[in-house]
């Protein structure tokens, strides 16, 4: 138990900071779980943004933030462009372009 007045204040402040940082980490875990489960771009974007914010405030290490962002980027579902043809719905590839005939 601290005896000096400044040490007592430091202990009170540390308790408050620890509680705040714990809430931030818990919210980050919630966002990551949501992004993993849904895989939607909106959820991934929110998780990455909050990860950067928490790392900037030194609540988590920057390398951990990089690992989280890398993992989320791998799990993100790719968008497929769909187009309609006479038979029905089919995915269109943007890489196949017709060349001009000579």
Maximum average pLDDT range among 16-25, 75-84, 92-101 = 16-25
Q: What is the pLDDT of residue 102?
A: 66
Least confident of 13-17, 48-52, 60-64, 82-86: 82-86
**In Å, what is the CA distance from 64 to each residue of 48, 58, 96?**
12, 11, 39
Mean pLDDT, residues 73-81: 73
pLDDT bracket for residue 75 (50, 70, 90): confident
User: Alpha-carbon Rg of the chain, whole angstroms?
Assistant: 24
- C-alpha to C-alpha distance for 43 and 31, rounded to whole angstroms: 7
- C-alpha to C-alpha distance for 32 and 26, rounded to whole angstroms: 10
What is the DSSP annotation of 15-62?
A: HHHHHHHHHHHHHHHHHHHHHHHH--HHHHHHHHHHHHHHHHTTSS-H
Q: What is the pLDDT of residue 84?
A: 58
Q: Whole-model pTM?
A: 0.70
In 3D space, the residue among 98, 25, 21, 102 whose CA is nearest the CA of residue 68 turns out to be 25
């Amino acid at each position: 138990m601290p005896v000096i007045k400044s040490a007592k204040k430091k202990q009170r402040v540390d308790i408050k900071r620890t509680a705040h940082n714990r809430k931030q980490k818990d919210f980050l875990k919630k966002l990551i779980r949501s992004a993993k489960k849904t895989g939607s771009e909106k959820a991934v974007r929110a998780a990455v943004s909050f990860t950067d914010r928490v790392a900037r405030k030194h609540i988590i290490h920057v390398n951990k933030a990089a690992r989280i962002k890398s993992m989320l980027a791998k799990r993100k579902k790719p968008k497929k462009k769909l187009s309609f043809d006479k038979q029905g719905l089919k995915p269109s590839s943007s890489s196949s372009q017709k060349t001009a005939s000579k």
